[in-house]
Every structure is written in C-alpha cells, then in structure tokens.
Chains A and B, each alone.
Chain A
Amino acid sequence: MKIWVYAEPAPEGDKPATSTLELLTKARELGDTVEAIYVGANADAMAPALGEHGATKVYAVDRGEALAGVVGAAALAALVEANQPDLILFAQSYDGRDALARLSVKLDRPVLTNGTDLKVDGDKAVVGTAIFGGNTLVDTKFTGPGPFLAAIRPKSFAAEPGGGGAATVEQVAAPDAGRAGEARVLEHHVEEQEGPKLEEAAVVVSGGRGLGSAEAYEPIVEGLAKLLKGASGASRAIVDAGWVPYAKQVGQTGKTVKPKVYVALGISGATQHLVGMKGSDNIIAVNKDSEAPIFSVADLGVVGDVHKVVPKLIEALQARG
C-alpha cells in the first residue's frame, strides 16, 4: 500500500508538527511506500525529520500567502493523478481539515475523520473512531475505490523515529486554485506560550467551572502547573465563558492529551472532556461533589474544595523547594 501523509509545520515553523510525525510512524507500519506532501516555504528544513519518521520523499509546494488547505488540495489532486497513492492521511487540524475537505470534492471521495486508529484490511483502509464520548469504538471501512482520505486526531499514535535518512525533496509548482485561491493570510498572531506545550507536557493541570471565577485560574491552575513543570489546560465550560483561550481546551472538540499525570480541578468529567484526557497514565481529580463522573476515571480522587486543597498543595510543593 502506498500511503501519503499531508505534512504540516509545527507552530514554530522550522520543523514538522508532532501530529505529522505520528502519522508517518503509523504509515511506516502499514505501508510499503510512505511519502509526504508539504505545503509551505522551508521544505528542506522539514526533510530530515520527515525522513527519519518514514517518508522517503516529500513533494513540496510553496503557497505564498494563500491558505494552505486550498493550495494543498489543488496540488494533491494533481499529484494523485500521476502517482496513485492508496491512502492519504491528514491530521485532524485546521489546515488538515481544509485540505482534506477540498480534496474529497476534487476526487469525489468520501472522508473519514476524527480517527483514533488505523488498520488495513486487504486493499482497503479501516479507520477506528471513538463515539459517545469515547465509550464506544467503531471501525469503518472504505468500500469504494481509492485513494482513501482520512483525518486522524493528534496523539492517536506515538511518534517514533525509524532511522531513515532525510527525505528527498521534490519541488512542485502551486497549481492555480481559481477563486478559491483568493483567500489570503494577512497576519499571524502568536498567543503567549510559557512552559511546555499542552500536547507534549508530562504533567497537565486543567481547571473547570468549579474554579468559580476567571481570576482563580492563574493562581490555582497555572500556579500548580508551573510548580510541576507542566502545562495548563481547561474544560470547554471555561473556554466558552472566555476565562482562557481555546488553545487550552482539552476534550472532544479541543486537544487530546496523554501526560504522565493529569490533574483535573473543579471539572465534572463530562464524556466530551473525558475523551480528551482519559488516556493519561495517571489522573488526579479534586471536586466538591463526591458523585462527579470525573472520579470514575481518577486514580486519586479528592472530594474537596479546590480553593482549600490546591493552595495547601502549592505551599507544600514550594516548601520542598
């Protein structure tokens, strides 16, 4: 099976996104040929990591200031015609979904999205998804002709280098995307990012509506995260309430995290939140309500008030130096 991965840059721009390396690792396991397509300016800087994780070749497309997904889909459609891949994998990301959606129309192929698992059955790809808040696992097989198009949620697979050399880079001209290509990126804004990234941190401390107010987030959640050298996250309730930016949201419509320790403070544990964090190695929860569903997944559940427990915990940790 020939598998392609739609490669994306990490936010820092000089290396591939972790989600791309995860997809390449899985593609290496399932495919005979693994190649990447990369839409962006500095393909040569990406080639070593892409190669190390399994891509022998990367088709690179310069997008100028156009949105990546539109250019990516147009370039992919042309490349698919000439190279006949069997399966094309996208990260369930902003640009990944744009490219996937447009490509599905160009090729008239269905998409399977929100994948958390991937298998091959004969010459067909099978995508595993988790529904009902992760309580039910469903496998769906493509039945029509390929190429099959699937988007996989970040953190579904581990990224492991396979020892390959740098991928060879083949520059491909950006095709004319017509009116659709007239969308332009004018500015980039980077929101403050201190400490480790949410998806990569060994410890994640998240806060929910139980914090009571936006003001409590900094001392309680960020305070504890900093002491544990971890990242801070959030439930959707406090993202929607505007207490913290969306980038911090953990769950079905936010990020999936798999840290060594996840600390849930004042979070009820709705299924949509659980699906984003129940793959954590260890879970600590503090919640006033002894019946809160979060306790059904917690390795250490503390029935208590975050405003009493956490300040003492912070003090105890500070005292240890």
Chain B
Amino acid sequence: MNIVVFVKQIPDPAMPGELTAENTLKREGKLILDESDSYGVEMALQLADKAGGGEVTLVSMAPNNEVSGLRTALAMGAAKAILISDDALPGSDALGTAKVLAKAVERAGEVDLVLAATESTDGYTGTTPAQVAELLGWPSLTFAKHIEIADGKATIQRQTEAGYDVVEAPLPAVVSVTAGVVEPRYPSFKGIMAAKNKPVDEVKVTDLGLTAEQLGWAGARQQITSVAAAPAREAGEKIEDDGAAHEQIVAFLERLKVI
C-alpha cells in the first residue's frame, strides 16, 4: 500500500511566536516536524507494514528548501519525500496550500491513502486535509482516532461532540488523524543515518502545473487590518495553603452564590 503523509515543518512551538512586518508568522530559523504530523507518519508506517508492502512518501511545503523536519520523519522510516519550496509560496493560505499538496499527491504516483493531522500546530486552520480531498475528488475521513484498512476500504473512529462515529470510505481517501491515534516512535540512530541518503524530490510550483497567481499573497485574498494586545486579565488574591485554604474557597463560592 502506497501512503502519502503530509508533514508540516514549523517553528519550534516552545518559542514565543512573532509576527513579521507583513503580519505573517515569523518563520526564520530552524523548523521542526510538527508533532501533530508525527502521528500521521507513525500511522502510515504501521499501516504499510501491516499491508506487507508499499511505501510511505512524505509531502511538505516549506520555505527555503527546509528539510530538517522531513529528515526526522524519514528517520522514523518513511521511504522518500517531495518538498515544494518556491518564492511564489509565501503568503499562501490553507486553500493555496491544499492546491499545492493535492498536485504533489498526483506527482507521487499510485497512492492508496493520504494521511494528515486534523490541524497544524502553528496555523491550525483545520481545513487543509478536506480541501485536498475535494481537489482530488476523493472521500475524506476527518478527525480519526482509530484507523483500520481492509478490503480496499478505510474504516475509522471519527471524533464527535458526543463520542465517536464509525465511518467508512473506499480507497483512495484522505484521512486526518488526531493526537494520540498511535504512539509515534523515536527515530533510531540507524534511522537517522539512513535518512541522510533518502531521496527528497525538490519541486517548484510550475513543476506542479500551478501558477504564481493562484498562490501566495495573490491567492489568499485576505488582509490583516488590525493587530492588538488582548485585554489582560488581572490576577486576584493569592494565598498559601496552611491547612485551611479550603475555607477560603468555600467563602469565595458563597460570595458568588454558587453554594
């Protein structure tokens, strides 16, 4: 089974975020594999393993031919990667990104399944996987917390407000996974060494048959009109528990007429 996994390479989420003069996220410096996507990579490796054949291909759209996040996913065991990096891309929104990713899936050849996270850590638009599915004309199974593949079909447990639904679709399909769907493995030393020589197909948007006008700032058709600090919430009273703090909580709840 051939599986494509979308892996976004993002600035370290532990670092405080910053905006550029154009009001976009600063993406300078080292990028890392989005942890959300590590679940997709692990899931893909396990599913390919179970199917007893086929490959896992990574697809990433990133600035400056960035590969550090891709190398992490290759070190986990993916076979190869397609990287789309182009001066036409800065400013792209989720739809523009989806157009690029969908074309990359087509470039990957015979694909049975595309895996993505439900939302990225830095952008968290949460629409890209279903947009890609629509562009490809495929079914999408979103918010999966469990996946089974059998008889040419994907069956998932789809997160709902009340619990979960069991949902099924014929392959090929796009599936987006939630955190915790599997436990991602740590790359082994051998894996890290092997990753250095795995093929990364670097492509430009014109290689994908897209034009610069569809992407980047021009394609996004939106404009940031204001950036402001949120009103801060004042800290109230802080007490050390000397064994009687619960009494103060009771008094506080009484004042609020909750009890």
Q: B-contacting residues of A (Cβ < 8 Å)?
A: 11, 17, 67, 69-70, 73, 92-94, 97-98, 100-102, 104-106, 108-114, 121, 126, 130-132, 134-144, 151, 178-191, 193, 202-203, 228, 239-240, 242, 246-247, 252-253, 260-261, 278, 282, 284, 286, 290, 295-305, 308-310, 312-313, 315-317, 320
B219 partner residues in chain A, CB cutoff 8 A: 110
A301 partner residues in chain B, CB cutoff 8 A: 235-239
Cβ-closest chain A residue relative to B245 = A302
Beyond A179-B139, A182-B169, whether A137 also contacts B241 by CB under 8 A is: no
B222 partner residues in chain A, CB cutoff 8 A: 110, 112, 140-144
Cβ-closest chain A residue relative to B137 = A179
Q: A183–B250 contact, CB under 8 A?
A: no
Binds A, one of B43-51, B74-82, B120-128, B205-213: B120-128
B57 located at the interface, meaning its Cβ lies under 8 Å from any Cβ of chain A in the complex: no
A101 partner residues in chain B, CB cutoff 8 A: 127-131, 134
B150 located at the interface, meaning its Cβ lies under 8 Å from any Cβ of chain A in the complex: no
> What's the Cα separation between A301 and B252 when bound, in Å?
11
Beyond A94-B159, A182-B139, whether A317 also contacts B250 by CB under 8 A is: yes
Cβ-closest chain B residue relative to A119 = B225
A304 partner residues in chain B, CB cutoff 8 A: 240-241, 245
Q: B229–A143 contact, CB under 8 A?
A: no
Contacting residue for A295 out of B17, B162, B235, B256, CB 8 A: B235
A106 partner residues in chain B, CB cutoff 8 A: 134
Beyond A137-B230, A246-B178, whether A11 also contacts B126 by CB under 8 A is: no
Contacting residue for B235 out of A186, A242, A252, A297, CB 8 A: A297
User: Which of under 10, 10 to 19, 20 to 34, or 35 or more describes the interface residues of B?
Assistant: 35 or more
A247 partner residues in chain B, CB cutoff 8 A: 161-163
B55 located at the interface, meaning its Cβ lies under 8 Å from any Cβ of chain A in the complex: no
A-B contact pairs, 25 of them (CB 8 A): A104-B95, A104-B131, A105-B134, A106-B134, A113-B126, A134-B230, A136-B228, A137-B227, A139-B226, A141-B224, A179-B139, A180-B134, A184-B167, A185-B166, A186-B166, A203-B258, A239-B180, A240-B179, A252-B124, A298-B236, A299-B236, A302-B241, A308-B243, A312-B246, A317-B250
Q: Scan B162-181; emit 1 where CB is below 8 A from any A CB, else 0.
A: 11111111100100001110
Beyond A191-B162, A309-B246, whether A300 also contacts B252 by CB under 8 A is: yes
Q: A98–B142 contact, CB under 8 A?
A: yes
Beyond A140-B224, A309-B241, whether A113 also contacts B173 by CB under 8 A is: no
Beyond A137-B227, A203-B258, A300-B249, whether A97 also contacts B126 by CB under 8 A is: yes
B169 partner residues in chain A, CB cutoff 8 A: 182-184
Beyond A180-B138, A188-B163, A308-B241, whether A297 also contacts B227 by CB under 8 A is: no
> What's the Cα separation between A188 and B161 when bound, in Å?
11
B151 located at the interface, meaning its Cβ lies under 8 Å from any Cβ of chain A in the complex: no
> What's the Cα separation between A138 and B227 when bound, in Å?
5
Contacting residue for B249 out of A110, A126, A284, CB 8 A: A284
Q: A303–B93 contact, CB under 8 A?
A: no
> What's the Cα separation between A273 and B161 when bound, in Å?
19
> What's the Cα separation between A242 and B45 when bound, in Å?
22
Q: B235–A228 contact, CB under 8 A?
A: no
Counting chain A CB atoms within 10 Å of each CB, which of B94, B169, B243, B246 scores highest? B246
Contacting residue for A302 out of B145, B158, B249, CB 8 A: B249
B253 located at the interface, meaning its Cβ lies under 8 Å from any Cβ of chain A in the complex: yes
Cβ-closest chain B residue relative to A111 = B127
Q: A261–B236 contact, CB under 8 A?
A: no
> What's the Cα separation between A247 and B247 when bound, in Å?
32
